[in-house]
């Protein structure tokens, strides 16, 4: 991000001092995030701009926060972990994200991969996220208002797909839209019983790794105006 944007980054910063932000990075590192690029991108991404001003003093806590419409901005640890899993085998050019929400994960990803294709079902959330990314001059992202269960077939295949809401089953369309060697990071389950999974498209079929219990809002059906 360019220096001339400093004024935007510091808007409404209030209690979110640089020290608070450094503490978050230290915590993520201690919790096992080891990809230096991911940590660096989280360090420089102003999470306080992705929540309501009334919550901005909590923006650098390692916790999910409400963003309206019964949705939440993901916990920084989860954003870091999922990004790290996507990038584990090397750089990625085309990544699809399901569940734009506030656009925070989108903003992080856009600084780690070449292009991001982000799908969201709630139009107003998507519009706000779009504005934030423009403000931050993150321009390698395109948005689709639609149903993440269907992915974004017209622009497939993707080298990486990340889903930021929990699916009852792995959507077939997302498997279909993975490039050979492509990686899908997705929480699967419902209610209290959810597991983060990494699915890789191998030469023959798919490999699956279960990475542990997580907590996400549900992947719902259909777009919503």
CA distances for 72 relative to 12, 50, 157, 183, angstroms: 20, 11, 28, 24
Q: CA distances (Å), 33 to each of 25, 76, 83, 216, in order?
A: 9, 11, 10, 19
- Least distance CB 102 / ligand SAH (angstroms): 3
Active site residue 190: no
Provide the edge-to-edge strand list for the sheet that holds 141-145: 141-145, 115-120, 94-98, 158-163, 178-190, 193-201, 206-213
Q: Does 214 bind ligand SAH (CB under 6 A)?
A: no
Catalytic residue among 74, 83, 102, 110: 74
Q: Which range of residues in 3-11, 27-35, 72-80, 174-182 is near ligand SAH by CB under 6 A?
A: 72-80
Which is nearest to 113 in space by CA: 153, 154, 84, 81? 84
Nearer to ligand SAH, 59 or 125 (CB): 125
In the list 60, 77, 117, 149, the residue contacting ligand SAH (rule: CB under 6 A) is: 149
**Rounded to an integer, what distance in angstroms lies between the CA atom of residue 207 and that of residue 200?**
5
Task: Please identify the residue of the shown chain whose CB is closest to the bound ligand SAH.
Answer: 101
Stretch that binds ligand SAH, among 55-63, 85-93, 117-125, 203-211 (CB under 6 A): 117-125
Applying CB under 6 A, the residues found at the interface with ligand SAH are 67, 71-74, 98-99, 101-102, 104-105, 119-122, 125, 147-149, 164-165, 217, 219-220
* Active site members: 74
């Amino acid at each position: 991000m360019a220096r001339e944007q400093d004024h935007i980054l510091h808007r409404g910063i209030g209690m979110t001092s640089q020290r608070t932000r450094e503490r978050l990075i230290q915590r993520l590192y201690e919790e096992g995030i080891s990809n230096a690029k991911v940590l660096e991108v989280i360090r420089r991404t102003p999470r306080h701009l992705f929540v309501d001003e009334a919550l901005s003093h909590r923006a650098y806590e390692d916790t999910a926060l409400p963003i309206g419409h019964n949705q939440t901005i993901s916990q920084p640890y989860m954003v870091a972990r999922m990004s790290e899993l996507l990038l584990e085998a090397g750089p990625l050019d085309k990544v699809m994200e399901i569940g734009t929400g506030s656009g925070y994960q989108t903003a992080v990803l856009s600084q780690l991969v070449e292009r991001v294709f982000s799908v969201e079902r709630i139009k107003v959330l998507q519009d706000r996220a779009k504005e934030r990314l423009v403000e931050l001059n993150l321009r390698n992202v395109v948005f689709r208002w639609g149903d993440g269960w269907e992915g974004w077939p017209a622009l497939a295949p993707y080298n990486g797909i990340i889903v930021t809401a929990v699916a009852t089953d792995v959507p077939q369309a997302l498997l279909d839209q993975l490039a050979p060697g492509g990686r899908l990071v997705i929480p699967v389950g419902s209610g209290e019983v959810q597991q983060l999974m990494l699915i890789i498209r191998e030469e023959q079929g798919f490999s699956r790794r279960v990475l542990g219990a997580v907590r996400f809002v549900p992947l719902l059906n259909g777009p919503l105006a």
